[in-house]
A and B are shown apart, each in its own frame.
Chain A
């Protein structure tokens, strides 16, 4: 939103304060100022009077003007504007080099407002009000709208002027709202509110408003604030909206009448409620109403989408002679809902969505009337200012103790400072015996100040956040232990990275359907994203290994991340599981790594995983529990790859009982045997249960095992060794091994 410094100065004295300072202070206290633009009039523009206007010899639409400048000099200027004529005052660019237009000399140019960057109007030359160029220098502040979402009172210059009055300790100008009273004797308008979504509705009908050109100050200020100029009446509505934040709408009264089938101006019926028939906006949107959308109606016919946009059939045109101004308040949520449904966001709807205080209606209508009185001398009010309300005035009173305030902020604040700030912001406040009491003004009562913390924020932001000194909290000393699951996972990651050279990656929580397909993977998912980023990628993953394979990376990678696991194999009931998964180039090494990390066992060919080789896979078991799988990646997906996936939620990270081994003083005896064995190595520990042995060598299916005989209390005798020798051979025979 753009804000003009000159406009602010209408409401608060800012003399002696630079625009940079204002921007800086506002950013620190109120809202984010993104930029400051200095607007000036270019050099060499001088006012002049057209004392002669003759048609150009060789052109139909050109005129040759004699312009007497305010400097006394008279110039000949060729001009192509349709409104060039004798007697008007113009703005002349005197620095333009002299040139010839169609053979006639032209010394300078009569400028349009657009050419001078003062307004959007390009239709003709600027007609000054007198022989003087009005003040044109201004500074324009760009406010980040996101920073005022919760401040409906700041969507107009007056609200910001109020903030500045407190920041700089200057007086805020009061607004006289009494100018509606003089119309009280005129007939009231027939207004009925049919919906709870209209909080207040007020109108006044005024005749003889045709043929008035929009004054410079309206055009220029609207232009500086990023708005176009659309004629006097529409400019009034936009201008007043930017004064107080309350949108204003204007209807052509005669059209309003006709559309509603009224017999005359006395018969006008203004209704606010739901519409039963189609409505066309002034931007040609065709709207089929539903029961929720709020409309302004002329009798039964919708004439405006309330709070959002006016209608084609009742809009202001150049010929409008009679106007109905609407100053209203609508329910924020309803307007927002409708605007979103129809994808119609306007300056008006943006303001209503924030929740405007209905009491601001009075400020808005006062300004409308002031502008009409000033610039439309023939205008005559035909109705009284009629206002119908459908809300309860808010009367919020909040109190808090000074002690609480000081403790909450961490600073002893001065009572004077507190009162000055609060009163300056419009809060009726007092401090008595350490108790602060405030009455929240109406314009801060809607979606804004609700409790003592909101009041504290008001006090502290003007105290200045930079004035609060950092204070260390006093805290009870206690031990804070790291979660053993976190430290356990950190160790696993470190081991994978430093010992085994894995690189940690991050992947998405949903599958990339396209890549899965290209790898011949059919991903299984129990949960979908309703509004996915890519239409095809809506499956929340149920495993992690697929995500890693989809990266198609060369090299060892791993990730510890979350998947959604269903609780019964189908349906969406389930929960998140944390998985650890890795891909490397060797099945055997993957197994070794898992053994190293988890001290696990393997059950060959039992991993139920479609991604793995049908033979070379295994379940990973810890204490008999199946915690994951490991295997060669199925060749249809990739060559020379192995992968694993472990369910970390099932890992018990309890600190292992680390105990030193008892070292015997007595020498141990080692007996080596070479067996032929065609089974799984793991089974040998069952066959030789009770014996301490290790693998010394393997050649094809011949295993050389070293059996260790040791004792803490004695050396084995020859006969004892022989006995063990026989026992081992016995065991081997029973187990099906041959020597």
Chain B
């Protein structure tokens, strides 16, 4: 090895000596000889560089194989990693998914209050003063005359008013508004007094029942990432006319029947209907010129279905182990 190095160095020295003697050559030969020696020198220097470099690389490589094995398969333990992973709440994740689909179809997204007036929760939804829906047993009433909203429909009035201009300008209102609702009901594995719903409206000049069916199929297929069919059954809500109960074909087995759909091939999804003309009127919209539909589904229920959550009470428990398990 050393011999090779010395050999290469010697070669360069030799050429350098020859270059020093160039001046003894006649003029004409000097240039040609100079160029030849220069080229030789460049080659020899390159060789030397290559040799030294290889020597260096060989040294590094031989050392490498003696390096200690770092076992990266060891997971974080006892707080020895910098930070343990966190997680979004499954409701947030579900909400984002729904919002994403809705936005892709041109829906505005609204957030809303949880403490609302009687007008917002009942009157503006065409729910008469003596209607059973206003029973004190189901609604949490507050000491200032307001109440905790029992359904996301409580925001319909505000939203219809907010987008009235857009309706006149573009001929369409479309918005979804997820939010938390409260009902004074006994709790068990499937019922909580606080839960999330998602509501949506679409109002325009010729919005029809067939549009409702189309949009719901698109929306639900998007949420479950698989093409589903919907079917409507007769229903009743004071704020829609006609009103429907909406079922979706089971996204897990596609109507074949499985435990998720209790082997019926269909799962209840939401209530929906054509917005009642009184509701439109109270929202400042001409019910003769415009028509629209509204839908409202349980976001909490949807999240439980999607993430396989068996007890709804876990969602408000703050149980970190549970929340982190859905990542």
Contacts and interface: CB of A to CB of B under 8 A. Distances in A.
Interface of A: 27-32, 147, 149-150, 333, 336-337, 340, 407-411, 451, 453-454, 456-457, 460-461, 465-466, 468-473, 475-476, 478, 480, 482-483, 485-486, 490, 493-494, 496-498, 500-509, 527-533, 540, 548, 551, 553-557, 562, 564, 572-573, 576
A468 B209 contact: yes
B87 interface: yes
A683 B105 CA distance: 52
B130 A407 contact: no
A501 B214 CA distance: 41
B83 interface: yes
B255 interface: no
A31 B241 CA distance: 16
Given A483-B111, A503-B320, A473 B83 contact: no
Nearest to B139: A531
B213 A470 contact: yes
Q: Which among B217, B241, B244 has the greatest number of chain A C-beta atoms within 10 A? A: B241
Contact of A28 (B88, B143, B233, B243): B233
Contact of A572 (B144, B231, B324): B144
A386 to B, nearest CB: 31
A461 B106 contact: no
Nearest to B83: A501
Given A336-B132, A529-B141, A407 B206 contact: yes
Contacts of B92: 493, 504
28 contacts: A27-B233, A28-B233, A410-B208, A410-B209, A453-B277, A454-B241, A457-B234, A460-B242, A466-B232, A468-B210, A470-B213, A471-B214, A472-B214, A473-B202, A473-B204, A473-B206, A480-B106, A493-B88, A493-B92, A501-B85, A505-B89, A509-B114, A527-B115, A527-B142, A530-B141, A532-B140, A533-B184, A562-B113
Contact of B323 (A410, A478, A504): A504
Interface residues of B, number: 74
B318 A500 contact: no
Contacts of A551: 318
B249 to A, nearest CB: 12
Contact of A528 (B142, B174, B215, B324): B142
A473 B320 contact: no
B153 to A, nearest CB: 17
Chain A CB within 10 Å — which of B132, B144, B244 has the most? B144
B194 interface: yes
A714 to B, nearest CB: 40
Given A527-B144, A528-B142, A530-B141, A505 B242 contact: no
Contact of A457 (B110, B184, B242): B242
A500 B91 CA distance: 20
Given A465-B233, A470-B213, A572 B143 contact: yes
Given A453-B274, A457-B241, A531-B141, A476 B184 contact: no
A480 to B, nearest CB: 5
A576 B217 contact: no
Contacts of A497: 86-88
A502 B89 CA distance: 11
A562 B92 CA distance: 15
A217 to B, nearest CB: 32
Given A503-B323, A528-B142, A473 B207 contact: yes
A453 B214 contact: no
A340 B136 CA distance: 11
A710 to B, nearest CB: 33
Contacts of B245: 32
A156 to B, nearest CB: 18
A504 B87 contact: yes
B318 A482 contact: no
B324 A503 contact: yes
Interface string B81-97: 00111111101100010
A460 B244 CA distance: 11
**Smallest CB-CB A-B distances: 4 pairs:** A410-B210, A410-B208, A551-B318, A457-B242
Contacts of B193: 533
Contacts of A475: 106, 171-172, 174, 204
A148 to B, nearest CB: 9
Given A505-B323, A527-B144, A471 B106 contact: no
Given A494-B88, A497-B86, A506-B316, 15 more contacts: A410-B209, A451-B277, A460-B242, A471-B208, A473-B207, A483-B111, A501-B85, A503-B320, A504-B323, A530-B143, A531-B184, A533-B140, A553-B318, A555-B320, A562-B113
Most buried by A among B91, B170, B323: B323
Nearest to B315: A506
A533 B316 CA distance: 15
B236 interface: yes
Given A407-B208, A478-B106, A504 B89 contact: yes
B86 A498 contact: yes
A452 to B, nearest CB: 9
A408 B208 contact: yes
Report which residue of B184, B204, B242 has the largest number of chain A beta carbons within 10 angstroms of its beta carbon: B242
B142 A529 contact: yes
B242 A509 contact: no
